[in-house]
Structure 1
Amino acid sequence: MLDGLQAAALDAADRRAATIGAYGLFGELEPESRDPRFLSLLDDTLEQIRAAGLSSGHLNRYEADRWIELHGELRSSFDRVFEVEVPDVADLPSARPLMRGDVRRLALTEPLPFGNAFFAEHRQDGTFVVFSERIYSHEDPTRSRYDEHHLGMFHTFEDLLRALGGELRTPTHWFDDDLEPYFPQRRA
């Protein structure tokens, strides 16, 4: 069966799609196969997933383990994530002011309605806090507010931006321009 799948993938007009399909079909039957033909299909599929810009979060355990076996790790080699230094606040342009009582969306992890949205709130007492809005569950798609107490309470908007950027680590699907310099990791 594997000979036929590999040959069909190599001869297909759309080799990319056929390779992924052949890998997926055989991978369902024998996901831990060490057969070189299977590993060739798997390796080609992983390269295509990476080239499409998908993150390692889309890989199953066998796929991730194979990538690590060949490349040593996922973060920089698959996800192309690297560390950057977050500048001092004094070296950055001033963030747009957030007035007392106001709320501003700062980040969205993926498109709505499924993405988690992160907001800054400037409370009447002058402090700043982060809260998120996300669906309750896949069975109940009601969006609810969740206070992100673990991030803390802040006396400046810039301190909030630094904490949220550090929590999210890499730029999200969408983010406010004021948050951009505070991400400590970037994708190449």
Structure 2
Amino acid sequence: MALSAGNPRATRLPGDVVARMERFGRFEFDPAATGIDATDVWGELQEPFLPFAESDPGGFARELANAVLPAGGFALFGAARTMWNLIGSDFDDPAYRSVRTAALEFFRANGVPAGRLPTDDWLFWRKNHSEPWLAGSPPPAPGEARITPLAPGELRRVAQITEMPDSNVVHVGTADDGRFVAVVDAPASDTDPTRSRFVWMSADTLHALYTGIGEAFQTPVHWAAEELRPFIPLPPSRF
């Protein structure tokens, strides 16, 4: 539903504003999957809106909300992030809150885990909602879980995050103090492919460690060992 009617400032938004917000929303959510050149994002999807946003933040928010709320989908997220970018992180306006909430409800309805949300959006959700983000399956009880004990010195591969050759890989092993540890094998950085390992988390039992890994993943990764899969609480998200 529109938040205002008959406002002549609506003409200050381009006719393809919903399409631009949809593209920007997809880029903000998963840049690598969009195929959009990051160098074009500002000039094509953000800068054209800057004069309106700077001269009349409230009017810009209302007109943008009027455009994207009926459309739904990624346009909601694109519009919410556009207001955040162009007006400021401290902007507080009913139109902005409506769009931001609708964007988060869109992700929630499509099973997107909280870990894939921007931190500020996750904090906004927690501040304004008491219900859980998503309700997943509980992990198997210790007596029901089928976990093969680790052999002395074993470092067991249990997950690969993506299908890419340079994907992070998760192993489990035993530390010198006897605790069980999850060890991530990953490139040093986006520009340095040299791989290194670091301890990600630890627990007193393998069951507790698998529970922690599953809670961190939330949804299935590219590959997970059969004994780890029951600990991942949610089905795949739609995105």
Which of the five TM-score ranges fits, normalised by the shorter chain?
Answer: 0.5 to 0.7
Residue 164 and residue 113 in structure 1: after superposition, are their counterparts in 2 closer, same or farther (change >3 A)? farther
Count of aligned pairs between the two proteins: 166
Percent identical pairs in the alignment equals 27
**Residue of structure 2 equivalent to 1:187:** 234
**Residue of structure 1 equivalent to 2:61:** 2
Work out the CA distance in 2 between the residues paired with 1:44 and 1:94: 41
Residue 71 and residue 81 in structure 1: after superposition, are their counterparts in 2 closer, same or farther (change >3 A)? farther
Work out the CA distance in 2 between the residues paired with 1:56 and 1:117: 21
Work out the CA distance in 1 between the residues paired with 2:107 and 2:201: 36
Q: Tell me which stretches of 4 or more aligned residues in structure 1 moved more than 6 Å.
A: 97-103
Offset of residue 169 of structure 1: 3.6
Q: 1:108 aligns with which of 127, 150, 160?
A: 160
**Residue of structure 2 equivalent to 1:178:** 227
Tell me if the contact between 2:139 and 2:211 (Cα under 8 Å) persists in the aligned partners. Answer: no
Q: 1:44 aligns with which of 82, 91, 102?
A: 102
Higher strand share: 1
CA RMSD of aligned residues (A): 3.7
Are 1:17 and 2:74 an aligned pair?
Answer: yes
User: Given the two structures, how large is their TM-score scaled by the length of structure 2?
Assistant: 0.53
The gaps in structure 1 that reach 5 residues or longer are: 123-127, 153-158
Residue 180 and residue 87 in structure 1: after superposition, are their counterparts in 2 closer, same or farther (change >3 A)? farther
User: Given the two structures, how large is their TM-score scaled by the length of structure 1?
Assistant: 0.65
Residue 9 of structure 1 aligns to which amino acid in structure 2?
A: V
Q: For 1:60-112, what per-residue CA distance to the aligned partner results, in whole angstroms no more than 9, with x for missing partners?
A: 34322221122137xxx224346445232xx45574x9888986521123443
Work out the CA distance in 2 between the residues paired with 1:149 and 1:19: 35
Work out the CA distance in 2 between the residues paired with 1:18 and 1:129: 41
Higher helix share: 2
Work out the CA distance in 1 between the residues paired with 2:123 and 2:199: 36
Q: 1:32-181 alignment to 2 at 5 Å?
A: 32-72=90-130, 77-81=132-136, 83-88=138-143, 91-92=144-145, 95=148, 104-113=156-165, 115-119=167-171, 131-146=183-198, 161-162=206-207, 164-170=209-215, 172-173=220-221, 174-181=223-230
Residue 233 of structure 2 aligns to which amino acid in structure 1?
A: R
